[in-house]
Amino acid sequence: MKVYSFLRGGIRYSDSAVPPRGSSVTAFLPGLSVIPLAQHIGNRANPVVSVGDRVREGMLIGRGQGLGSANIHATVPGRVVRTVSWKMAEGLTNDAMVIKLEGGFEKLGRYQEVFPWQSLSSFELQRIIAEYGIVEMEGSGRPVSDMLYSLRSVKDPVTLVLRCVFDDPWLSADYVLCKERAAEVAEGCLIAARAGRMNRVVIALSEGEKELGAMLMDNMGKAEIPVDMFLAGSRYPQRNGRELELALRRYGKKHGGELGVILPMGPATLAAVHDAVKLKKPILERYVAVGGSAIKKPQIMKVRIGTRIGEIFAECGGFVDKPRRIGAGSPLMGRTVVDLDEPVVKTSFAVFAVLQGQTGEKGRAGCIGCGECRLVCPIGLDPEALYKYAQSAKSRDSTPGRAAECHGCGCCEVVCPSHMPLRTSIIRSALKGN
């Protein structure tokens, strides 16, 4: 089967500190759960419970407010003991409810009643998905109901893309989820396609993942719409929206299929769609890759939303030495974590702690003009020139021409022999211009 990829730039990214992609382990239930009221891109959810109230597992505790906002649910039974607020590394403030674990579980370890969905309309499916607060778990946290609703006015065909492109080794938790819950991912894909009235499903896989693709295809059963499998390149950042669409358009042109509007969703999101519609269950847990050179025992863990990051590291044996950096997401594009009491949220796919020497911060030197950054940029920018402009006096009054086109993949920083903060400077410069 032919492999399709974007045409220029990118890198082959590997990291020996990533946990192995074997299987997952279930983390301990947290005694105190910290449930943020903003686990999505929009306004924080409006709390519907107060300090002192008792809550059930899966109970609504925060109601979404408008586009971009999603409902928030208790992930454990217990009592709301306090509310907390904290500043994140980016300067943003987040606030949360703290639930002390008490009482019995209604879903964990219990028989789950299964609800049929084949007779439901797209409107009814969207309502259920919104009710249970399902968001894009591999991305920004955009509510899935918003994504589906936006398709109502689309006249062109719509293709749902199951995005199983693992160009970043820190996506190992999503890979394990995809293998362990292949049936749920596949059915969630068909449910989302029905909810968005889509015309076609394409399973986008990294090259070398044909076995995973065959497993997903087998679980699709007799779908009402065409389901195809497509092999994408494994160069980072192949899974980015622009790079993935470039490869998909080449695939569609070659095979004579009109893809129309492309809507990519990851396996964790589609498994959550399945759980909401078939089990009437919100997002209670997340597959998380826990690793980094400072962690004694990296592993893939199934973690309850609201579990504090420090507790997860402790379950992995703690630190081998004092970490130089602690972060959430991939080290390439992840954000720094400043407080180990910060919790796992719906969009957490990895947390890491790295030692000095494994962070890429080995002491910055001046640019040597090697041009490596230009070679790897997938959109053809000149990171060297943009960086130098951002550092100059002129940049105080204007933004360098193409800085806004940068989507922050970080390829330039990875290959820079002088370890200059290219990506960070370019993005800050672009934000200043907005």
In a domain, 365, yes or no: no
In a domain, 77, yes or no: no
Tens digits of per-residue pLDDT, 15-24? Answer: 999 999 989 9
Considering 224, 254, 279, which residue would you say is the last residue of a domain? 279
Percent of the chain topping pLDDT 70: 93
Mean pLDDT computed over every residue of the chain: 90
Considering 226, 246, 279, which residue would you say is the last residue of a domain? 279
Tens digits of per-residue pLDDT, 27-71? Answer: 999 999 999 999 999 999 999 999 999 999 999 999 999 999 999
CA distances 327 to 4, 113, 312, Å, are 32, 38, 13
In a domain, 225, yes or no: yes
Percent of the chain topping pLDDT 90: 71
Please choose, from the candidates 13, 88, 19, the residue with its C-alpha nearest in 3D space to the C-alpha of residue 332: 13
Residues 389 and 251 in one domain: no
- Structure tokens, 241: 């929206």
The alpha carbon of residue 392 and the mean position of all alpha carbons in its chain are separated, in whole angstroms, by 35
In the predicted structure, residue 261 carries a pLDDT above the cut 80: yes
Residues 255 and 382 in one domain: no
In the predicted structure, residue 361 carries a pLDDT above the cut 60: no
Residues 125 and 252 in one domain: yes
Instruction: Please report the pLDDT score of residue 399 as a whole number.
Output: 57
In the predicted structure, residue 268 carries a pLDDT above the cut 90: yes
Identify the residue whose tokens are 């409107």: 123
In the predicted structure, residue 430 carries a pLDDT above the cut 80: no
In the predicted structure, residue 362 carries a pLDDT above the cut 60: no
Residues 272 and 398 in one domain: no
Model confidence at 397, in pLDDT bands (50, 70, 90)? low
Point out the least confidently predicted range of 3-12, 104-113, 383-392.
104-113
- CATH of residue 145's domain is 3.40.50.11540
In a domain, 181, yes or no: yes
Please choose, from the candidates 192, 136, 138, the residue with its C-alpha nearest in 3D space to the C-alpha of residue 160: 192
In the predicted structure, residue 392 carries a pLDDT above the cut 80: no
More confident residue, 407 or 129: 129
In a domain, 191, yes or no: yes
Tens digits of per-residue pLDDT, 271-304? Answer: 999 999 999 999 999 999 999 999 999 999 999 9
Q: Containing domain of residue 223, as a range?
A: 3-16+112-279
Residues 405 and 264 in one domain: no
Model confidence at 432, in pLDDT bands (50, 70, 90)? low
Residues 149 and 268 in one domain: yes
CA distances 431 to 289, 384, 424, 425, Å, are 30, 18, 11, 10
Residues 273 and 380 in one domain: no
Instruction: Please report the pLDDT score of residue 91 as a whole number.
Output: 61
Residues 275 and 404 in one domain: no
In a domain, 403, yes or no: yes
Residues 12 and 123 in one domain: yes
Residues 275 and 376 in one domain: no
Torsion sign (Cα): 12, 14, 20, 26? negative
In a domain, 409, yes or no: yes
Mean pLDDT, residues 241-250: 92
Residues 265 and 391 in one domain: no
Instruction: Please report the pLDDT score of residue 360 as a whole number.
Output: 47
Mean pLDDT, residues 354-368: 67
Tens digits of per-residue pLDDT, 349-358? Answer: 999 999 976 5
Instruction: Please report the pLDDT score of residue 372 as a whole number.
Output: 93
Instruction: Please report the pLDDT score of residue 393 as a whole number.
Output: 52
Instruction: Please report the pLDDT score of residue 86 as a whole number.
Output: 80
Tens digits of per-residue pLDDT, 399-426? Answer: 566 778 888 888 998 899 988 888 878 8
Phi-psi bin for 383: left (phi > 0), alpha (psi -120 to 50), beta?
A: alpha
Residues 6+ apart with CB under 8 A from 347: 39, 135, 136, 137, 138, 139, 140, 141
Residues 139 and 257 in one domain: yes
Instruction: Please report the pLDDT score of residue 1 as a whole number.
Output: 78
Mean pLDDT, residues 3-14: 92
CA distances 379 to 66, 154, 326, 376, Å, are 34, 28, 29, 9
In a domain, 240, yes or no: yes
238 close to 228: Cβ distance less than 8 angstroms: no
Tens digits of per-residue pLDDT, 74-97? Answer: 999 999 999 998 876 556 778 999
Considering 279, 311, 335, which residue would you say is the last residue of a domain? 279
3-class DSSP string for the chain: CCEECCCCCCECCCCCCCCCCCCEEECCCCCEEEEECCCCCCCCCEECCCCCCEECCCCEEEECCCCCCCCEECCCCEEEEEEEEEECCCCCEEEEEEEEECCCCCCCCCCCCCCCCCCCCHHHHHHHHHHCCCECCCCCCCEHHHHHHCCCCCCCCEEEEEEECCCCHHHHHHHHHHHHCHHHHHHHHHHHHHHCCCCEEEEEEECCCHHHHHHHHHHHCCCCCCEEEEEECCCECCCCHHHHHHHHHHHHHHHCCCCCEEEEECHHHHHHHHHHHHHCCCCCEEEEEEECCCECCCEEEEEECCCEHHHHHHHCCCECCCCCEEEECCCCCCEECCCCCCECCCCCCEEEEECCCCCCCCCCCCCCCCCHHHHHCCCCCCHHHHHHHHHCHHHHCCCCCCHHHCCCCCHHHHHCCCCCCHHHHHHHHHHHHC
Structural domain count of the chain: 2
